[in-house]
Amino acid sequence: MSETPKRRRPTTAAWLAGVLAVVLVGLVGSIAILSSGGLPIGGSATPGPSAPPPSVGQSTAPPSQSPAPSFTRPTPTPRPTFVVHVVKPGDSLTSIARAQGTTARSIAFWNRDAYPSLDPESDGYQPNRIEVGWALALVPGQTYDELAPTQRPGSPPPNGPSTAAGPGSQPTMPPVIGSSVLISNGPRGSDRIALTLDMGGRVDPAVEIVRWLIDHTVKATLFPTGLTGTTSEQGRAALLLAAQRPDLFEIANHSWDHPSFVNLTDAEVADQLSRSEAAVNQLIGRTTKPFFRPPFGAVNNTVRGAVGRAGWGYTILWDIDTIDWKPTSEGGPTASDIVTKVTAQAQGGSIVVMDLGGWHTLEALPGILAALDSKGLRPVTLTEMLAP
């Protein structure tokens, strides 16, 4: 009977030879794969299409790139500007100066034209006598340089915007002989428009309106009555503030106390205009000539003749009336109504009449300026629009 053959256990030498053969086959295979580019270093073992090599002249971006730095123009440092402090009970030049970071003597110098008793170079200098209601112009954090005697209200502040111009660079209105010339608009087809603001009666927002115009570098012509502009706290403060930027504001005449000129004699017309001129000039050192606006727009040939003989060559009406002086409770316009009217009617040469006491004028100004800009119109003073 034959035996069933038994499975023999491999010897140690044979087992070691087999292991070495497997290792050798594995190394050869790995070398073949790497040399063919089939498995990149660090790549996945899952096969996939190989990216084609870049063509000649084709640039390849680096794997990661920081975004290029962008340049942002720095916000310019605000230039110093005058503010107006209305004297309250208990105020003194010293206390006002301490609160505003300046000196009492600086405040005196800045206001010596409006209040001669504050002139340090005058024999009548009385720095300890100021009155409640006085509107004092000053520059917070600045002191008056006594070597530069032009730093008065009506002149730019120290290091402030220069308004100096070369000879002949500022337009001027030609003189008028005879009756005052009646004007309701400037040249059509231009890109200029005149914003004009009357002052008489209510003046609560006047300072805020003037400040807004200054902050946004908007030119305008102001028509104050002498009574409101030079005897009320808000009126004085608004005019003193406007006087600091003669490059932005022109000051004109709207009579002394707002009567209808068609009911006045020639002598009364002259008195209304000259009283207002004298008061405004004493306050801010500026003339109101050559522009006059008749209260209520009431004018006829007799009035024009009297106004011309009194020295005001141009009588200014308007072609866009915002009626902003009228409260909404009495049917007056809202801010939106004002913007809509100006937007619809504005054209080159337009003269817009508004009021420094307007109920919604301050609210409407941003919309008005945006609308004018969209129509390619730029606000200018009356002289800039009308001068040849």
| Among 108-117, 292-301, 336-345, the least confident range | 108-117
Superfamily holding 83-138: LysM domain (3.10.350.10)
Mean pLDDT rounded to a whole number for the chain = 80
Mean of the pLDDT values across residues 123-132?
A: 88
Is 63 in a helix, a strand, or coil?
A: coil
Torsion of CA 243, 248, 254, 256, to 10 degrees: 0
- Say if CB 144 and CB 105 are below 8 A apart: yes
The tens digit of pLDDT for each residue in 254-270 reads 999 999 999 999 999 99
pLDDT at 2: 39
So what's the pLDDT on residue 305? 97
Q: What is the pLDDT of residue 111?
A: 84
Q: Are 317 and 186 in contact (CB under 8 A)?
A: no
What's the whole-model pTM score?
0.65
**Domain residue ranges of the chain, discontinuous segments joined by +:** 83-138, 181-386
Going by their DSSP bridges, the two strands 83-86 and 135-138 should be labelled as antiparallel
Cβ(353)–Cβ(383) below 8 Å: no
pLDDT classification of 383: cutoffs 50, 70, 90: very high
pLDDT(9) > 80: no
Which among 81, 190, 92, 225 has a CA at the least distance from the CA of 142?
Answer: 81
Q: Which CATH superfamily is domain 181-386 in?
A: Glycoside hydrolase/deacetylase (3.20.20.370)
- pLDDT digit string, tens, across residues 147-181: 764 454 544 433 333 333 333 456 899 999 999 99
> Residues 218-258: pLDDT tens digits?
999 999 999 999 999 999 999 999 999 999 999 999 999 99
pLDDT reported for residue 162: 35
Structure-block tokens of residue 377: 């119109």
C-alpha closest to that of 233 among 274, 204, 273: 204
Helix, strand, coil percentages, rounded to 5, for the chain:
35, 10, 55
